[in-house]
Amino acid sequence: MIMQRLGKQLSRHPKATIAATIAITLIATGCIQIFGITQEFSEEPFMRKMELVKISYIKRYFAFLSF
């Protein structure tokens, strides 16, 4: 329902839709030029450390098992 209304509004005003898209793109490009983008290709943020998995955590979710 919401998407249908949005689609109708966008199709009724194609020039405004294009202008808004260009404006958002220019603002985003300006922010990238001013603040820059930092990229990190390290796998460490995505990997869990084994120390985080403790028996208390397991017992909390599997309390019905006896350890």
Distance CA 5, CA 10 (A): 9
DSSP string for 47-61: SPPGGG--HHHHHHH
- Give the mean model confidence (pLDDT) for residues 32-56: 70
Enumerate residues 6+ apart whose C-beta is below 8 A from 55: 67
Task: Report pLDDT for 46.
Answer: 63
- The torsion angles phi and psi of 13, rounded to 5 degrees, stand at -125, 70
Rounded average pLDDT over 43-49? 62
pLDDT beyond 70 at 48: no
Average pLDDT in the 54-60 region? 67
Higher pLDDT, 39 or 23: 23
